[in-house]
Amino acid sequence: MDEIPDRLRVAVGDEPVIETVDIGGGDALVVAATTTYLYRSEGLLSDESLESYGHDARRLAVDAGRRKSTIRLETLDDERSFTVPADAAETVVESVLEGVLRTTGVVDPKESVVGRFRFNDLTLVVTDAKLFKHVGPAVWNEDFEMFDYESLTDLNFEEGSVATRVVVEIQGRRHRVKVPNDQAGDVRRAVRDAVFDYHDVASMEELRTVVDDGGTEAESEPEPEHEPETELTGIDPVEEETTGDDGADWSPPADQDVTGPRGSTSTGTGTGTGLGTTGGRESGPTGETTTDDAGAGGTDVGRLADRVDDLERRVERQNELLESQQETIEQLVEELRRGR
């Protein structure tokens, strides 16, 4: 993010920072060497806050959902967790993992982490001196394997139709790590470059010469004709409720009858309607009634126009309120998505 909030910067102090992640809506997360700091800006559902999560953890796990993921840190005494948007979870988990490895002493202070990979129930961490492998539903716990480059006697990569095996030979004993082909290239480069740099060589031939392997390549195991594709396991999806916004029907007050009063015409046998001597039409009782109707109709039209103007003003006011409510709802939904 462009600028770290002052409250967060003061909390981190001079501690080395592994990663800074903008998690949206003014919220930010800083993964330092020993602690993860989670800053929440002021919102509709909460005040400004700052939480810290120590990396002295025995177990690191993640529950992945469609919109947000929960990261759990388990220590000897308790378990603490926090949520981040799903699209930022991978970066956060990898950074927190490095912090845990450094804090717990798995990775030495001067050791550089050059690669962090997660595949289903497999986690790989590549440093400039060692390769770490962990298999299980958690991202990390104390049940892991470590292969140091000092004891390396061979390195090979076996390509298959679905996966690639990284074959690490430690003092004559081979250990195979299978990774999906779509990310095998990144793993291969990270492991190969780290091993080459450690032994100061530029090729596999030079490496085998240095480790006294005699230049012979490791035998490849036959690749199964078909390998089943596995889905992410060990991660329980977070059940998320979806809230719908029902539209509110608005009806204006019932209008009065817009039909004006009608005059009544008298029918008689006398001179209700007649002709004068000049040929003009005389105004009898029917003519007077028509005049009164015209006046009443004009008054009703004026009242109707006033009522229409009043209704228009009400509709405009209702629209303004609805727009304001929609903005509030959208902000609430956004805060809920960020795990507020």
At 154 the pLDDT is 96
Q: How many Cα atoms occupy the beta-carbon half-sphere of 194 within 13 Å?
A: 27
Domain identity same for 5 and 88: yes
Please state, in angstroms and rounded to a whole number, the distance separating the CA atoms of residues 248 and 321.
Answer: 12
Domain count, the chain: 2
Dump strand ranges (E) for 79-218: 79-85, 113-119, 122-127, 130-135, 144-148, 152-159, 163-170, 173-180
Contacts of 206 by beta carbon, 8 Å cutoff, 6+ apart? none
| Structural domain boundaries enclosing 81 | 1-105+309-340
Domain identity same for 141 and 101: no
Q: Could you tell me if 22 and 84 are in contact, meaning their C-beta atoms sit under 8 angstroms apart?
A: no
Domain identity same for 68 and 171: no
Residue 206: give its domain's CATH number: 2.30.29.30
pLDDT tens per residue across all 340 residues of the chain:
557 889 999 999 999 999 999 998 889 999 999 999 999 998 777 789 999 999 999 999 999 988 999 999 999 889 999 999 999 999 999 999 999 999 999 999 899 999 999 998 999 999 999 999 999 999 999 999 999 999 999 999 999 999 999 999 999 999 999 999 999 999 999 999 999 999 999 999 999 999 974 444 444 444 444 444 333 333 333 333 444 444 444 444 544 454 444 444 444 444 444 434 444 444 444 444 455 555 566 678 878 888 888 888 888 888 888 877 877 786 777 677 665 5
Tell me which residue has tokens 């993992």: 97
At 244 the pLDDT is 44
Q: Which of 191, 218, 245 is the last residue of a domain?
A: 218
Domain identity same for 48 and 140: no
Please state, in angstroms and rounded to a whole number, the distance separating the CA atoms of residues 123 and 128.
Answer: 17
At 296 the pLDDT is 60
